Amino acid sequence: MDLVSDNMAYTALDGVLQVFRRRLTAQQGLDFASVLPAIPRAIFVAGWQVQVPPLPFPDRASLVQEVKKVRQNHNLTPDNAIEATAWSLRRYIDGADLERVLARLPEGAGQFWHVDVADPREIEQRIF
């Protein structure tokens, strides 16, 4: 994302995870969180109001605008935040586990985490 500080990166990651989380039930969210590395998992569940009904997945532009509204006065998240987060997370998540969970989530979940790459090795898991 070409961000210049840890705080900016955290805000972008948190925004992306919150926007995705808003579209899931508590069980779906816990299923998704189970495939995340420890720190993103903690960020994903932090402050979650599980009693709020899930929202539908709108178009990508609307999702990006929603990400930018998280801590709006301190948010310099770029337009590619969702794709960049997906690209980064996919490098640390077992791809088969992620796809298995995404297949059980609402329509739009898989597209949210989709990454277009020329070479699939770009997003192969790096750490086991």
Q: How confident is the model at residue 121 (pLDDT cuts 50, 70, 90)?
A: low
Each domain of the chain, given as residue ranges in start order, spans: 6-123
**Domain covering 6-123, topology:** Globin-like (1.10.490)
Q: What's the confidence (pLDDT) of residue 108?
A: 96
* pLDDT tens, position by position, 26-75: 999 999 999 999 999 999 999 999 999 999 999 999 999 999 988 777 66
Alpha carbon of 66 to those of 74, 83, 102: distances in Å?
Answer: 14, 14, 21
In the predicted structure, residue 128 carries a pLDDT above the cut 80: no
Helix axes 95-103, 26-33, angle to 10 degrees: 170
pTM attached to this predicted model = 0.88
- Contact between 125 and 91 under an 8 Å Cβ cutoff? The reply is yes
Q: What's the confidence (pLDDT) of residue 60?
A: 94
The Cα 126–Cα 87 span in angstroms is: 12
Mean pLDDT of the chain: 88
Q: State both tokens at 45.
A: 């569940």
